Structure 1
């Protein structure tokens, strides 16, 4: 049995825990007493061994203490001796410093005099050399040795810089400039020949000559001018007809010869290759040329090729930029008409043109994005080819490649607004034809169906706009896109509001939310349909048609709910897209780049910041933002806000969607309450309230009054209404209502009950208003009205709706005889009656309370 003693050194050692653990480790067949006895003996033996070892180590340590004490005393004595020696050395250094300072100052004065003398000697020497060079330079030029001439001019330039602004050499300075121009002119034909015929040795020697006389810029100009010609020729081939291609039966393409191209150039536009199909071919040819230039320049200009070839591409793109934009517009026309056209592009539509313009359509911008993607593929290849170039050079090159699209990006919000506005305007929300009396339900149902179908269509349009913005601008125009989407949603909601407003006449309700909503309108003109409202309309339609109008009105709720839910989902998706732009646009790096550019005043700071820590292609959207600091800061703020789920990316839309839902609820309520309004319209003026019982010679029994048709009609309507509401709620899972919840019976019941209570409360309020309008009522009238009220109370009870105190007071006071009414009102100690209402009934029945 081994004993582990390591746990005894732990500061938190628990003896009981250790013993229990040791007992658990024993063999099951071994007795506990024997095991603990052995364990105790082992621990005792171990403790004795430790004590013996401790005694031995302590004795050894005591023997070493005197020796250590002697070593410490010796070291202290050595330190004192060393300190004394160092002090002596420091004293000697202080004395030497005082005597040598004067010597060092004298030597410094001598050195300055020597330097001035050497400078004066060199200046005199350079002045003499300048005079000599000026006299012999013509001989050097006459010899035709351009390298020697460059060296002579370089020496003259150096001598002039040493001599400074001396009036005696002013003519030499003018002479030098003339000679440098002269040498540049002599170099030109040889340089043109070397660059044209790709003569490496000749190009290198001429480059050295130009650098020696400070004319390297001339080399850049000549190289760009000469090597740009084949690139320009490739671009111009599109107009000259050499870019034509014939499509074979198998779908293969082959390049035509010059004679064939000339013939085809005079043919109809149908045989001309489209710009969208020609552009990739142009980019391939340009890339091939640049690759050859890159390889040649590595050999000919090993120190300048990293900037020389990119500059060639930048200058080429700058030269063709204007025609590139024109050809983009040609591509737009091709997408619109199916053939090459000189009109129909985006540039034909001014930014401020009316939003109803049909010149810009979705296929236009889709074609623009297609061309932009082609350019993006070319830019990636260029980035790979120029990967060893400086970041600033590469950034400027990418800007030049994308420059033809910049004007479209700057006005992207306006272009998208025009496109989406045209799409929204084309929605036919009221496509149903006007129908006569008895067919309003069909017209209403058709219009509501169109409204409901338009909601997902609009959301698809908005989602497509977001995708286009990210695809075309990389999200850099997100701020303009959001404004556009908000404006478009406002336009769409305005159309919904107008359609909803027009449906009021179909549903038979007036424009006013108060007053007499059911009074007939005056007929005007040949169209009598405008006068068929309110009571006239209800009197002329069947019950089936009446319920079809109710069902159609209830379906409008699905439109409001679908709009609310889908707009919320879209806004959440939009927030997520905006949040992702923080990473894709490298917003933090862009802001840092703007700060560095502001401090150092150099574009290279911004470009290097974007490429820091990454070998990926520079993002053009981020490069655009560097050039627009204020726009970047606004966009950064917007994207940060988008992280908050409470943020409304479309603030005006969310408000107007709520307003539309309120308007829908108001219309539905007015439709549901319309029949009740009609039945209660003249209740306060009914003649039965003032009628008296006819005298009769016979003693006839007294019968209870039955409820009148107007109140039974209302009761039947209220009792039937839940049956009309429940199918709508049960079908809500597919129609859009409560789309995020399971369509079950409980939800359907809640939906039906909610609207049922609204209508019941409205009916009760209208009825009470009519009751209050009764001026006088007889005993017979009171008996009849009490029966009517009791019937309505029973209906409300069947609908699980409590009877309002005011209505209950009317019933109690009307059911009581005139003789007992005063006592009933005065004895209302429990407060069960509504006193103002009770006093009103007493006044109607001509019962004095005082």
Structure 2
């Protein structure tokens, strides 16, 4: 061998190819070497290769030694078997050859076909006979198993036999035989036999299964698997699953109803106990423990289900069915328990208890979702990909677990308003009226009244913070319960509750007015009327304190409203997966309510879980409620920052606007009380004007008339008394306006002029038949001060004093004009006296903000004229049809002229001069 071939030889020796030829390689290696070095290098490798080859040959020879006899035997058997077949093929070939050579053998071919068909039918009959025999044996064996009760024992005390263990297989063989024998006679009898066997299997197995599954501990499930196999053989395995899901929650149900019985016993033993809230906390705490039992049961039964039904997605289906069968029977009882009130408790509904229980249920739902996800991981299945076997998180979990709470979501407005109303009613301060009958003297009653009323006002002001704390807490509870989806209903409930709160406060007002003797003049019994020369200033100060308390309530309401708006916007922003788009609020609403499914992983977050539940409930509501929520979200989003009058003297609520309107209605009553405390004494004095004898005074003779003095008359006592009351109001208001209560009192005084004076001006309009524009023009004499104050963001003491002094002065002017128009007749001396009274009153009105009082100025000048000049003056006024001032003055002067003409007319009877309706006599 050449030296150059040594590397190829070595490479081929190291080859691992299966086609390696050892003998060829050996011949090549033993060829005469060209040198001694080649022999030395090949010797070790040849030794190793020869050893491996020897070992391989030995192993192959041993295998051949063992397998050749068996192979020879099989070949002989095949030869023996193939010999008849070869003979038949030779015969068939001979027949075919002869048929090709001659057409006389066609009958033989038909005979061959007939023989083949006969053979096929004989084989079919043979198989049918075998299946019939097997059917008979299987039927006998199956009925024998069913007739032996020990073979169906589930307690393990019976001995298992092959017949019992293979019952399911035998039934399946029967079903296969039934299909084979369906074309043979007796098919109906066999079908009935099969039905009877299935009924007996079900009747024998199901009672034992039910008894076993209703035990507290299922124990070994081996025999249950045998029952499942037996029921599965007759297509009744689903009955086993249904019975399993129905029976296993029984222990949990007993635990639930035992608590119900204990709660009834506790309520019966101690109905007078005032610790109702503690029992509510105990129920929420007990509910937490109850859910722990439910979760433990579900975990335990999920393991039993895996052992019994196998480790696939069916286990999760069984788990969801178990959850439904556990909680659905308790829904009605659960709902009643949430809304249950104690026998001795006056509260209608406890929102705190509902929210605490909801938190407990929410934790349980999260734990159950985690259990389902762990089973998915353990079983290697994924049931949330949207396929036909996907777990419906909404219908399978959320709707089942949270079903007891849906009623409270649907009627959240009613339940929340009842709870808030009950809580706010406890904050209505009492007003003691019993001492009015006990105390004898008027001084003692007045002192007690002021003290009692001041206490009422102080308690109301102190309760203001508690009122809005309760309201704010209710909004937070709404978010915890519904994730903000019921915010519109919560706001509506707050408005309803605050309205009931203000109505309860208003119900105290008649007693306060009766205590104060502050009824309107036309409502006061003349036998009980006490005319006062001046108001009781202590009562006036007490009414100002009430006004300040009303302002405190409204101010704190508006401050809380601003905080709620910011918080609601932030919380509603969490309803969407992305930030709220202020330019597209409707898209945010779509993100909130249009999602009909949610992944199980999302339910592990408490906030998303609550939102999923609430949106699920919202989709069940009518379109009107859904639209209300959409509109509420749009309003929140479209006004990210509210630039309302928070810095103005009159703040405005935007979210709780209904609550503010309710507060304003109560504040108006407080304004009227404060106003009546000052004005009613003035009105009582003015009501004496029509009966004043000075209006009818006439000269004793014509000579006296000619000698009538021309010097000015002095004002009468009634007008000086009224002027003193108006002027004394200013020093009473100034100390209160200079205190730290000014801001709240100013808020409560909003619209006081319109509220308080409207009644008096309307009465004047009825007397003079003034049109609304004419009446409004007269009222605007004192209207400029209120407008300026409302537009100024900073309340001052001077503005507060001007507001109330102008209000009382405006009503006094209207009452004075009305009573003047009620004078029966007016002589010339009376006219001069009335002109002097009005001139004095004109100066007083100028001191209290009525500088532009054109009405009094015109009347006092007209009364100084003689009758004909007065008539001419009215004619000139009537010539100006466009001026509202002139038209009002015309009607007022017509009434005065009629009085003066009646004084000159001769008396016509007892009723002469009794009319007070203006008429044109000239």
**TM-score (norm: length of structure 1):** 0.61
Q: CA deviation at 1:639?
A: 1.0
CA distance in 2, matches of 1:129, 1:669: 114
Give the equivalent residue in structure 1 for 2:75: none
Paired residue for 2:324?
Answer: 314
Which residue of the other structure, out of 159, 163, 178, is the alignment partner of 2:196?
A: 178
Taking the TM superposition and a 5 Å limit, the aligned residue runs for 1:251-262 are none
Query: Structure 2, unaligned stretches of length 5 or more?
Result: 1-116, 145-160, 263-277, 377-382, 384-389, 578-588, 640-652, 751-789, 906-920
- Take 1:302 and 1:441, find their aligned partners in 2: how far apart are those partners? 82
User: Shift of the alpha carbon at 1:638?
Assistant: 1.9
| Structure 2 CA distance for aligned equivalents of residues 800 and 240 of structure 1 | 74
CA drift at 1:276 = 4.9
Structure 2 residue corresponding to 1:810, chosen from 859, 862, 871: 859
Cα distance in 2 for partners of 1:318, 1:495 equals: 42
Superposition map of 1:247-286 within 5 A:
276-286=284-294
1:521 correspondence with 2:526: yes
Contact 2:823 2:899 in 1 (8 A): yes
Q: Could you list the per-position Cα deviations for residues 421-441 of structure 1 after superposition, in whole angstroms to 9, with x for gaps in the alignment? A: 444554544423354634144
- Asked whether the 8 Å contact 1:383–1:394 carries over to 2, the reply is no
The residue aligned with 1:95 is none
What RMSD over aligned residues (CA atoms) do the two structures have, in Å? 5.4
Alpha-carbon offset, residue 136 of structure 1 = 3.6
Is the CA contact 1:399–1:620 (under 8 Å) kept in the aligned structure 2?
no
CA separation of 1:289 and 1:546: change in aligned 2, threshold 3 A? same
The equivalences for 1:182-581 within 5 A come to 182-183=200-201, 199=220, 207=228, 210-221=231-242, 223-224=244-245, 227-228=248-249, 231=252, 276-295=284-303, 297-298=305-306, 301-303=310-312, 304-318=314-328, 328=337, 345-346=340-341, 358-360=345-347, 365-387=351-373, 388=376, 390-392=390-392, 395-403=395-403, 416=416, 418-433=418-433, 434-435=435-436, 437-438=442-443, 439=446, 440-453=449-462, 455-472=464-481, 484-510=493-519, 516-517=521-522, 520-522=525-527, 531=528, 533=529, 536-539=530-533, 543=534, 546-558=536-548, 560-562=550-552, 564=554, 580=571
- Corresponding residue for residue 137 of structure 1: 138
Contact 1:509–1:518 (Cα < 8 Å) also in 2 = no
Residue 136 to residue 408, structure 1, CA distance change in 2 (3 Å): farther
Q: Does the aligned pair in 2 maintain the 1:133–1:152 contact within 8 Å? A: no
When Rg is computed on C-alpha atoms for both structures, the one with the higher figure is 2
Say if 1:488 and 1:825 are closer, same or farther in 2 by CA, change over 3 A: closer
CA offset digits 1:372-413 (Å, max 9, x no partner): 433332222122111236532784345444455566667766
Deviation at 1:302, TM superposition (A): 0.5
Superposed displacement of residue 760, structure 1: 1.8
Question: What corresponds to 2:730 in structure 1?
Answer: 722
The reply on whether 1:631 has 2:639 as its aligned counterpart is no
Distance 1:230 1:828 in 2: 97
Number of equivalent positions: 645
In structure 2, the CA distance between the partners of 1:167 and 1:685, relative to structure 1 (3 Å rule), is farther
| Cα distance change, pair 201–429 in 1 and its aligned pair in 2 (3 A) | closer
Residue ranges of structure 1 left out of the alignment (5+ in a row): 1-116, 242-269, 333-344, 350-356, 523-530, 594-605
Residue 744 of structure 1: CA displacement?
A: 8.9
Distance 1:132-1:650 versus aligned 2 partners, 3 A rule: farther
Q: In the TM superposition, what whole-angstrom CA distance separates every residue of 1:654-700 from its partner, at most 9, and x where no partner exists?
A: 6655544444444444433222212222224323344468999xx99
Question: 1:590·1:626 contact (CA, 8 Å) conserved in 2?
Answer: no
Equivalent pair of 1:482/1:650 in contact (CA under 8 Å)? yes
Candidates 739, 757, 760, aligned match of 2:806: 757
**C-alpha distance after superposition, 1:485-512 (max 9, x if no partner):** 454334323323322344333444435x
Q: Deviations over 1:530-587 (max 9, x none)?
A: x2x4xx1425xxx5x6122233334444455455555566677777787756965998
Pairing 1:154–2:172 present: yes
Contact 1:581 1:639 in 2 (8 A): no
Per-residue deviation, residues 340-395 of structure 1 (Å, max 9, x unmatched): xxxxx44x88xxxxxxx945466x55345434433332222122111236532784
| Closer/same/farther in 2, CA of residues 312 and 589 from structure 1, 3 Å limit | farther
* 2:780 counterpart of 1:794: no
Query: 2: CA distance between counterparts of 1:157 and 1:510?
Result: 99
For 1:659 and 1:123, how far apart are their aligned partners in 2?
Answer: 100
- Kept in 1: contact 2:561–2:654 (CA 8 A): yes
Q: Which has the higher contact order (CA 8 A, sep 6+)?
A: 2
* Counterpart residue number, 2:100: none
Q: Deviations over 1:15-45 (max 9, x none)?
A: xxxxxxxxxxxxxxxxxxxxxxxxxxxxxxx
- Counterpart of 1:678 in structure 2 is 684
**In 2, Cα distance between equivalents of 1:635 and 1:819:** 72
TM superposition shift of 1:444? 3.7
Instruction: Sort the Cα spacing of 1:412 and 1:783 in 2 relative to 1 into closer, same or farther, 3 A.
Output: closer
Deviations 1:98-157 (A, max 9, x none): xxxxxxxxxxxxxxxxxxx9xx99999998887565334235536744564423433554
Note the alpha carbon deviations across 1:434-461, whole angstroms, 9 max, x for none.
5463414434433444454555544444
- Superposition deviation, residue 235 in structure 1: 5.8
C-alpha change, 1:392 and 1:817, in structure 2 (3 Å) is: closer
Q: 1:547 to 1:175 in 2, by over 3 A?
A: same
Name 1:687's counterpart in structure 2: 693
Distance 2:852 2:667 in 1: 30
Q: 1:590 and 1:178 mapped to 2: Cα distance?
A: 57
More displaced 10-residue stretch of structure 1: 686-695 or 711-720 = 686-695
Query: What is the 5 A alignment of 1:15-94?
Result: none
Q: 1:673–1:759: 8 Å Cα contact kept in structure 2? A: yes
Cα separation, 2, equivalents of 1:491 and 1:450: 18
Contact 1:413 1:480 in 2 (8 A): yes
Q: Note the alpha carbon deviations across 1:248-307, whole angstroms, 9 max, x for none.
A: xxxxxxxxxxxxxxxxxxxxxx99x96555443443344344334445655662112222
* Cα separation, 2, equivalents of 1:627 and 1:133: 60
Partner of 1:257 in structure 2? none
